[in-house]
């Protein structure tokens, strides 16, 4: 199982990409080092053996890049094999250049340091054990360097090699430690975001539970009133005014029962997680019909771009309620500025489906333009509309954003086209 799922930037695939980049740098650096030692320093080195090792590492680097480009899951054992190849090639080159006496012997520690930040303990033990075995082997079996043929003194060669080795090791460890720390910070931010989302969803679930209980409890008194109101109308049929009031009460009771039935149906649909499948234009019209029933005084302008009008959308029932919430908030915001005008624009932006709701209200304060929207800023209402809409957008891997316009504000509900089919 890949560990990439544990956090962004942490896992075998990330380590493999880092190793691929390091491998190319190693091929270049080793080639330059061998050429400098032969041409400038005049050292006698087994050029053919070293060239074979560097060429083999270069071919493996090409294979590693091809493997990463296949986009298949990279397992941890594959990364261990990649590290093993790098370690063995480095040991091979060190064998022909002095073995453990070579100042670059400490480069065997670099794969261990990288593996320690990413791989599990068994894999880390394998990498460490292989590096230790290579080191112990080079203590006994190696070909000594012919330093007498060099143009520089033994001390100058060792100091130069030690300096280069220190610079390379320190630079690599600093670079990857910084990248690892940055990945951990990103992971901590993501964990905090998930925790906040879980707390918010827990609050929404608590409210939904209370609403379900209230719907169950309200059904009994509504049924009682539904039975008594016709009897009262018969008893007071002579009183025309009272009869009209009783008839109005019957209508309101039926409306309440309809709302309760809709709440129950919505809850069942949410539990079943069965999305609605219908043309986008039809989905929008159903939302608007429901909204106009709730807010008949609002003047709504609809603009659907032609390239999305025939799009088929598959979305849960909560998306319909999310859009109605946005329209309702926009109507309330426009009413604050004595306006009845709101707009709904439906368009496609590359791989996204955008639902833009525009009002003529006072706009959002800086607090409510934060990425995670909690409230709409209205003085009335329960403050749940934007939170529920935000939750719906996140469940669909979408986004909810707001921005102020010259007159009013725009709320953008952006959904990936994967929602549409």
Task: Note whether 308 and 348 are within 8 A (CB).
Answer: yes
At 401 the three-state DSSP class reads strand
**pLDDT at position 272:** 53
**pLDDT at position 201:** 64
pLDDT (tens place) for every residue of the chain, 421 residues total: 334 434 444 567 778 888 888 888 889 988 888 888 888 887 888 889 999 999 999 999 999 889 888 878 888 888 999 999 999 999 999 999 888 888 888 888 888 888 887 888 998 999 999 999 999 999 999 888 877 777 777 778 778 888 888 888 888 778 777 777 777 788 778 777 777 666 666 665 666 666 666 766 777 787 888 788 888 877 877 787 887 888 888 888 887 877 777 666 666 555 555 667 788 888 888 888 888 877 888 999 999 876 676 778 777 777 888 888 899 889 988 988 889 999 999 988 877 888 999 999 888 776 554 444 444 445 444 446 677 788 778 878 888 888 888 888 999 998 887 665 5
Directed axis angle between helix 317-336 and helix 385-395, to 10°? 140
**pLDDT at position 380:** 42
The token duo for 42 is 């005049």
How far apart are the C-alpha atoms of 159 and 157, rounded to whole Å?
6
The pLDDT tens digits for 233-264 are 778 777 878 878 888 888 888 878 777 776 66
Residues in the chain: 421
How far apart are the C-alpha atoms of 165 and 175, rounded to whole Å?
15
Q: List the chain domain ranges.
A: 12-151, 274-373+380-420
CA dihedral 205, 206, 212, 215 (to 10 degrees): -130
**pLDDT at position 9:** 47
**What residues pair up with 416 in beta bridges, in sequence order?**
352
Greatest CA separation for the chain: 127
**pLDDT at position 131:** 92
Kindly provide the residue ranges of all beta strands, DSSP E only, lying in 291-398, ordered along the sequence: 299-304, 312-315, 341-349, 352-359
**pLDDT at position 22:** 86
Task: Note whether 107 and 90 are within 8 A (CB).
Answer: yes
Inter-residue long-range contacts of 267-270, CB under 8 Å, 24+ positions, other chains counted: 267/208, 267/212, 269/316, 269/317, 270/316, 270/317, 270/318
**pLDDT at position 4:** 44
Nearest to 345 by CA among 269, 294, 282, 412: 412
How far apart are the C-alpha atoms of 108 and 102, rounded to whole Å?
12
Q: pTM to 2 decimals? A: 0.50
CA dihedral 15, 16, 21, 26 (to 10 degrees): 100
The pairing of strands 341-349 and 399-404 is unpaired
The pairing of strands 299-304 and 341-349 is parallel
Given the candidates 2.50.20.10, 3.90.850.10, 3.30.565.10, 2.40.50.140, the CATH classification of the domain at 274-373+380-420 is 3.30.565.10
């Amino acid at each position: 199982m890949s560990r990439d799922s544990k956090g962004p930037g942490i896992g075998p695939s990330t380590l493999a990409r880092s190793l691929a980049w390091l491998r190319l740098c190693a091929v270049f650096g080793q080639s330059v080092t061998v050429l400098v030692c032969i041409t400038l320093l005049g050292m006698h080195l087994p050029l053919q053996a070293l060239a074979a090792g560097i060429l083999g590492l270069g071919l493996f680097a090409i294979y590693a890049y091809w493997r990463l480009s296949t986009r298949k899951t990279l397992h941890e054992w594959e990364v261990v094999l990649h590290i093993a190849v790098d370690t063995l090639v480095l040991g091979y080159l060190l064998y022909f250049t002095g073995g453990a006496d070579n100042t670059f012997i400490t480069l065997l520690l670099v794969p261990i340091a990288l593996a320690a930040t990413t791989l599990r303990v068994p894999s880390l033990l394998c990498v460490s054990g292989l590096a230790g075995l290579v080191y112990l082997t080079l203590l006994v079996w190696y070909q000594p360097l012919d330093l007498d043929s060099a143009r520089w003194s033994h001390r100058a060669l060792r100091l130069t090699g030690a300096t280069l080795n220190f610079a390379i090791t320190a630079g690599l460890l600093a670079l990857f430690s910084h990248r690892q720390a940055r990945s951990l910070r990103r992971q901590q931010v993501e964990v905090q975001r998930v925790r906040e989302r879980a707390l918010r969803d827990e609050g929404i679930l608590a409210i939904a539970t209370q609403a379900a209980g209230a719907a169950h409890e309200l059904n009994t008194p509504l049924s009682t009133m539904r039975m008594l109101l016709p009897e009262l109308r018969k008893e007071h049929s002579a009183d025309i005014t009272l009869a009209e009031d009783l008839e109005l009460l019957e209508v309101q009771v039926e409306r309440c029962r309809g709302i309760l039935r809709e709440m129950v149906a919505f809850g069942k649909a949410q539990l079943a997680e069965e999305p609605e499948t219908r043309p986008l234009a039809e989905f929008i019209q159903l939302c608007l019909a429901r909204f106009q029933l709730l807010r008949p005084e609002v003047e709504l302008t609809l603009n659907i771009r032609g390239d999305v009008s025939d799009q088929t959308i598959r979305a849960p029932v909560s998306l319909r309620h999310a859009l109605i919430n946005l329209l309702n908030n926009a109507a309330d915001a426009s009413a604050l500025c004595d306006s009845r005008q709101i707009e709904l624009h439906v368009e496609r932006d590359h791989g996204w489906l955008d639902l833009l709701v525009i009002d003529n209200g006072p706009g959002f304060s800086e607090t409510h333009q934060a990425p995670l929207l909690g409230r709409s800023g209205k003085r009335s209402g329960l403050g749940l509309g934007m939170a529920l809409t935000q939750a719906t957008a996140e469940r669909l891997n979408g986004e909810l954003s707001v921005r102020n316009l010259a007159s009013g504000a725009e709320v953008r509900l952006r959904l990936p086209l994967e929602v549409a089919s």
